[in-house]
Amino acid sequence: MHDRLDLGNPDERNQAAADYVLGLLTPEEKAQFEALMAVSHEAQREVEEWREHLDVLNSSLPPVDPPKHVWKNIENMTGSQKESFWSSLRFWQGSAFASVALALMVLFANFQSVNPDNMEYVYVVNNQERSPGWILNASLNSKKLVMETVQPDSVPVGKACELWLVVDGVEPVSLGMLPESGTKEMTIPKGWEEKLSKAKIVITLEDQKGAPNGWDMGPVLDKGDWSTRTY
């Protein structure tokens, strides 16, 4: 998969739904797709369709009892031994192998270690139809915030949508303008790593140069709290 999914592209969104069901998305891609799925009926529908398609492998194929040495390989397997483990499964052919392979891929995904220090913050900026306009994803590890355009509302000529981090008692910090298309990456302001968990997201409508300061914002278009995930 790409580093950032283009979820505004129906074909790539559908492929992401398939990879989500199979457990093949990276943690960053999974967070991005789940943020979309939380508000998009289309993404939810595609995930259910892929689950139905792939469930055929479980319901229509007879169960296969693997030899004892396969289970021994599973017990002894580490991350660096996955290739040799897959080699030991080559005697399976056709659809029976596909069923086992699918189950093992999901198993590997569930075995991935969870690092509590890897906190991801996700926010979906909805358009007037309550569908995703932009998806914001911030990572404390990389100290980056990625703004991805999905399907934003059009804004008046000469205007733009400005993104703010707001903490009570502190002047709001601007992270610049949301992109009209594509993806934009910003560095989280120095000293804001710890404040990020307490910050609210605010989107305002401004002239293209932006508001003069954090106390003189234009009209608020959207605001809310981050959704958080730990990997």
As a whole number of angstroms, the distance between CA 172 and CA 174 comes to 7
Handedness of CA 34, 35, 38, 40 (dihedral sign): negative
pLDDT of amino acid 67? 66
- Nearest in space to 28 (alpha carbons), one of 120, 117, 145, 148: 120
With beta carbons less than 8 A apart as the criterion, state whether 43 and 36 touch.
yes
What spatial distance separates the first Cα and last Cα of the chain, rounded to whole Å? 18
Among 4-18, 31-45, 74-88, 166-180, name the one with the lowest average pLDDT.
74-88
The CATH-assigned architecture of domain 119-230 is: Sandwich (2.60)
Residues 66-95: tens digit of each pLDDT: 666 666 767 776 554 444 444 444 443 444
Q: What is the pTM of this model?
A: 0.54
Q: Which of 220, 226, 213 is nearest to 171 (CA)?
A: 213
Q: Where are the domains of the chain?
A: 10-110, 119-230
- 151-175 core/surface letters (b: 16 or more CB in 10 A; e: else): ebeeeeeeebbbbbbbeeeeebbbb
CA distance 56 to 208: 52
Q: Are 122 and 30 spatial neighbours (Cβ–Cβ below 8 Å)?
A: no
Contact of 13 with 131, CB cutoff 8 Å = no
**Phi and psi at residue 222, to the nearest 5°:** -160, 150
For the segment 103-117, the average pLDDT, to the nearest whole number, is 46
pLDDT at 161: 94
Residue 145 tokens, joined? 């915030």
